[in-house]
């Protein structure tokens, strides 16, 4: 299934576990993530959830091969259900990021409550470079968290940036040595797990409720554009270039 889920001391950890493909996320992995989040939401013994990769890589984002073979269809696709799941998750959601966090690897962090990054963390949102457009309501959330120009730099140019920049942009709480990222995040989750669960739930709901409808609307709008663009010749060229280990040639498209 390529994710590992375990619950200990009232904290559920969800770990990407596909090192040979840099933790790229397939439709089957999205479906497993949806199930893990739903189980954590429904279990009163679970107080919060931590998502992490390894000490070397968070995730390379959507699995390009899988995306080409099984392009997601509509709002019931595993990826859409996952994005709605993290956007509406009612308990604290934490992330520990080392190494590459590409595409959804970065945009999912905008829905987390606490994000800790290792010194090796490299964030990127290369949607335009792939002939696509932003997802996960990042076209709304990144400008609102980071400011328009910094969001435009990330979403239009799509170049990777480091953990200090992510912290300045406002979606990383602290930067740590790589070996400490996951343990520190688990320790923070442990602190949350000892606080009154109802207070955490209500506080989170109050902080998020003003934006919830706008996020849902933006996700739908992005999803509609993304679904069309995924089938475009530009995206096919970008994905074929990645799989062929060559540079894409967009000059052929008007």
Single residue of 5, 13, 22, 218 touching ligand COA by CB under 6 A: 22
Single residue of 1, 10, 21, 237 touching ligand COA by CB under 6 A: 21
Closer to ligand COA by CB, 29 or 51: give it. 29
**Least separation in angstroms between CB 89 and ligand COA:** 22
DSSP string, 176-218: E-HHHHHHHHHHHHHHHHTS-HHHHHHHHHHHHHHHHHHHHHH
**Least separation in angstroms between CB 237 and ligand COA:** 13
For the window 123-162, what string marks contact with ligand COA as x by the rule CB under 6 A? ---x---x--------------------------------
Give me 198's structure tokens: 């109802």
**Least separation in angstroms between CB 241 and ligand COA:** 10
Per-residue three-class SS string for 124-176: ECCCHHHCCCCCCCHHHHHHHHHCHHHHHHHHHHCCCECHHHHHHHCCCCEEE
Closer to ligand COA by CB, 21 or 204: give it. 21
Rounded distance between C-alpha atoms, residue 91 and residue 79, angstroms: 20
SS3 state at 244: coil
Single residue of 5, 11, 14, 24 touching ligand COA by CB under 6 A: 24
Question: Which of 36-44, 90-98, 99-107, 162-170 is the region at the interface with ligand COA (rule: CB under 6 A)?
Answer: 99-107
Distances (CA, A) of 217 to 192, 222, 224: 30, 9, 11
Q: How many residues does the chain have?
A: 254
Note the Cα 108 to chain centre separation in Å: 2
Give me 84's structure tokens: 């709605």
For the window 29-68, what string marks contact with ligand COA as x by the rule CB under 6 A? -------------------------------xxxxxx---
Question: Which of 19-27, 137-145, 185-193, 197-205 is the region at the interface with ligand COA (rule: CB under 6 A)?
Answer: 19-27
Bridge partners of 11?
Answer: 8, 48
For the window 103-122, what string marks contact with ligand COA as x by the rule CB under 6 A? x-------------------
Query: Looking up tokens 């989170």, which residue turns up?
Result: 204
For the window 168-207, what string marks contact with ligand COA as x by the rule CB under 6 A? ----------------------------------------
Binders of ligand COA: how many residues, by CB under 6 A?
Answer: 15
Rounded distance between C-alpha atoms, residue 165 and residue 153, angstroms: 12
Closer to ligand COA by CB, 11 or 60: give it. 60
SS3 state at 8: strand
Which residues in this chain contact ligand COA in the complex, by CB under 6 A?
21-22, 24, 60-65, 100, 102-103, 126, 130, 242
């Amino acid at each position: 299934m390529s994710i590992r889920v375990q619950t200990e001391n009232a904290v559920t950890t969800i770990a990407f576990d596909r090192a040979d493909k840099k933790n790229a996320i397939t439709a089957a992995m999205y479906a497993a993530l949806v199930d893990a989040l739903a189980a954590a939401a429904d279990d009163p013994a679970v107080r919060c959830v931590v998502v992490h990769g390894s000490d070397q890589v968070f995730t390379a984002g959507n699995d390009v091969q899988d995306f080409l073979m099984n392009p997601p269809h509509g709002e019931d696709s595993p990826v859409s259900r996952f994005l709605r799941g993290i956007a509406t998750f009612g308990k604290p959601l934490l992330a520990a990021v080392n190494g590459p966090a590409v595409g959804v690897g970065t945009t999912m962090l905008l829905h987390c409550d606490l994000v800790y990054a290792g010194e090796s963390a490299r964030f990127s949102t290369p949607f335009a470079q792939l002939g696509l457009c932003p997802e996960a309501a990042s076209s709304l959330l990144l400008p609102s968290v980071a400011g328009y120009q910094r969001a435009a730099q990330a979403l239009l140019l799509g170049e990777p940036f480091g953990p200090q920049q992510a912290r300045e942009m406002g979606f990383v709480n602290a930067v740590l040595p790589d070996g400490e990222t996951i343990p520190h995040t688990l320790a923070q989750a442990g602190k949350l797990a000892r606080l009154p669960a109802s207070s955490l739930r209500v506080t989170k709901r109050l902080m998020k409720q003003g934006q919830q409808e706008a996020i849902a609307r933006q996700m739908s709008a992005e999803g509609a554009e993304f679904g069309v663009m995924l089938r475009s010749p530009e995206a096919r060229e970008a994905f074929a270039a990645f799989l062929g280990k060559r540079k894409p040639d967009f000059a052929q498209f008007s």
